Amino acid sequence: MTTTYTTTQSLPDFDLWQKKRDNNALFSFTLELTARCNNNCRHCYINLPENDHKAKAEELTTEEIKNIIDQAVELGAVWCLVTGGEPLLREDFEEIYLYLKRKGLLVTVFTNATLITQKHIDLFKKYPPRDLEVTVYGITAKTYAAVTRRADLFPEFQRGLDLLLKNAIKVNLKNVTIKANLNEFQEIADFCRKHTRDPFRFDPLIHLRFDRDEKRNEEIRDQRLSSEQIADLERSDEARFSAMQESCERLILPNAPEITRRTVFSCGVGAGDFVVGCNGYYRHCSSLWHPDFMADLRSQTVIEIRKVLVPKIRKIESDNEEFVEGCIKCSIVNLCIWCPANGFLETGRIDQPSQYFCLVAKSRSDNIKIS
């Protein structure tokens, strides 16, 4: 496939650019320990079977991970998100976690809670994570199985979450809302609000696979809620909908048609963070899997990669008029989850609109205006 974007000029001096952007080269980074997971969620964009030998062989070693952590800390990082797949599948999880903590980092861990043991409880009590986030796919065995395709793991989810809660480990509960659990949404929301101090978070928008597996992508598309369902769901959540209404002036841009830029990336991608991929590759953000913006951390250092890729990505312009006259000038683009990364996953291009995301943004906008 031919890409049709260009860089506008030669790359600027990285040190000067970084000094202007931020005093620290980094603020945070994400560490994907594995793509393997013991669940097999219908909507998941990354998971591979827990016994996938090829995936396991491609994972960074403990020492390689420690080396990257050292580099990130030297560049100013103060926070790390540890995720997967299911990170607790790594036999060296505790060693890596302790290394992060001993480096003085704030650490957030994403887990499905099915593998939590007393050993993890002891670890988290002695060295508390900044956050430990658990996704609640369902609160009945039937719904949990409908999402994860692992009916046998619902009791393990209950056991692991109970261990965390009974031992006063700070847990944030969240939900990915898809067709398979939509009928239980209110019960899930009530459960999460009851067991976590933070506001209930749910995500009704799911994007496609990082590996572009078309069979799995069809499953994801099949599980997506319609734009009307998403708007209605958000309207039913008083706190979330109130926040959207209060931010109406920021979310809906009356002067958007006057924008004249052609640059593809307008977000803060690469400004203060990066992702360590489970395959050992550097990425600017978790969803940006375009090969032009990835690099092998086994053969280059973080700073060497960033010196090239960060300025490069800022200069990318598009010659796709549908994007330039559409997405860039769209007054409701902030109600859409379209971005160059998701655009690539959806269409194979970083500068191509997605009809589904457009419909969601329109339904959200209509909902806010009606109110």
| Average predicted confidence (pLDDT) for the chain | 90
Average pLDDT score over residue span 308-323: 91
Domains of the chain by residue range? 13-200+237-243+270-316
Q: What is the pLDDT of residue 20?
A: 41
Q: Look at residue 314 and tell me whether its pLDDT is greater than 90.
A: no
| DSSP secondary structure, 109-174, as one string | EEE-STT--HHHHHHHHHS--SEEEEE---SSHHHHHHHHS-GGGHHHHHHHHHHHHHTT--EEEE
* Span between the terminal Cα atoms of the chain, in Å: 44
Among residues 112, 120, 110, which one has the least CA distance to residue 81?
A: 110
29 vs 326: which has the higher pLDDT: 29
Give per-residue pLDDT as tens, 234-282: 999 888 888 878 777 677 777 766 777 899 998 888 889 999 999 999 9
CB of 137 within 8 A of CB of 143?
yes
Question: What's the pTM value of the predicted model, to 2 decimals?
Answer: 0.90
* CATH (residue range 13-200+237-243+270-316): 3.20.20.70
